[in-house]
Amino acid sequence: MIHTIEVSVKDQGLHDITPQVVEVVNSSGWRQGLCTLYIQHTSASLLIQENYDPSARRDLEAWLNRLVPENDPLYTHTLEGADDMPAHIKAALTASSLSIPVIDSQLALGTWQGVFLWEHRRHQGRRKVLIHLGA
């Protein structure tokens, strides 16, 4: 089974998509197996991270922005703006896919874990995430 969700993003940062993924798993009737997520973009990524304290997300965002700054004179890919090449680098350093076990029709996430789309560009738009449920 393959489903596609579209995520509206308003800005750079971590966007919690756990409820959308849970809804797909719940509505599928899938009981056991693996939920694989794949983002169809090169300037955003996927992450499993703490979903309790928002300061953890803010700290991750600040750290990655410091690690990969905008306007570095090394960049030649600047046609789409100052945030474009850093977004590609951030996506390369993070993940384009995730795998989460499904046990008794539930994502086997830990108590404080959530699934996040990490938008690396400073823009509004929609991102597509494929969800595959399989053995």
pLDDT exceeds 90 at position 85? yes
Query: Span 75-82, mean pLDDT?
Result: 94
Residue 63 is predicted with a pLDDT of 97
pLDDT exceeds 90 at position 94? yes
Q: Check if the beta carbon of residue 77 is closer than 8 Å to that of residue 84.
A: yes
Residue 101, both tokens: 């076990």
pLDDT digits (tens, 9 = 90+) for 39-73: 999 999 999 999 999 999 999 999 999 999 999 99
Domain 2-134 has CATH 2.60.120.460: yes
Q: Check if the beta carbon of residue 127 is closer than 8 Å to that of residue 9.
A: yes
- Predicted model pTM: 0.94
Residue 135 is predicted with a pLDDT of 79
